[in-house]
Amino acid sequence: MKKFSKQEISVLIDLLDFSKINGNLIPVIAQDYESNEVLMLAFANKIAIEKSLETGHAYYYSRSRQKVWKKGESSGHIQEIKDFITDCDNDSVLIKVKQTQGACHKGYYSCFFKILEEGNFKVNRPRIFDPNEVYEK
């Protein structure tokens, strides 16, 4: 994905509607750009979107930690943005990414690794890394 200038980013940010979630957040779906597998759903504020467009790497806003974070900042499992797509109302974003290692902090490629079968959620994907070895306690 092309890197954008500060002026271009400002124009793009103004096109997005951040008002619907806490008045400042927008949902972001990350999808593998080759396989189209959905990797994760997160949220971004204006600063996270600005950093994403400026650097070409995915940044999100952590609602629990109340801060912007770069995907992969502690694990090294970064997301390089290939496409940045908005929905019809400009209030949700889909980013197609090149994922390094896994997207899920629980050790899976995708955060969507459980399927409903016979009334229970069952893991339907292999774990690809041990989170205890990747994340500091």
CB-CB contact of 48 with 68 (8 Å) = yes
Residue numbers of the domain that contains 44: 6-102
48: domain CATH number is 3.10.20.810
Nearest to 105 by CA among 125, 81, 129: 129
At 3, the pLDDT band (50, 70, 90 cuts) reads confident
Would you state the torsion angle of the CA atoms of residues 24, 73, 130, 100, taken in this order, to the nearest 10 degrees? 90
Whether 118 is in a domain gets the answer no
Q: Is the pTM of this model over 0.85?
A: yes
In angstroms and rounded to an integer, the radius of gyration of the C-alpha atoms of the chain is 15
Q: pLDDT digit string (tens) for 115-133?
A: 999 999 999 999 999 999 9
At 107, the pLDDT band (50, 70, 90 cuts) reads very high
Whether 96 is in a domain gets the answer yes
Whether 40 is in a domain gets the answer yes
Domain count, the chain: 1
- Decide: residue 35, CB within 10 A, 0-12 exposed, 13-18 middle, 19+ buried: exposed
Position 133 scores a pLDDT of 94
In the beta sheet, which residues pair with residue 114?
123
At 137, the pLDDT band (50, 70, 90 cuts) reads low
Nearest to 42 by CA among 31, 30, 24, 55: 30
Q: pLDDT digit string (tens) for 27-85?
A: 999 999 999 999 999 999 999 999 999 999 999 999 999 999 999 999 999 999 999 99
Whether 130 is in a domain gets the answer no
Q: Residue for token digits 């999808």?
A: 31
Whether 121 is in a domain gets the answer no
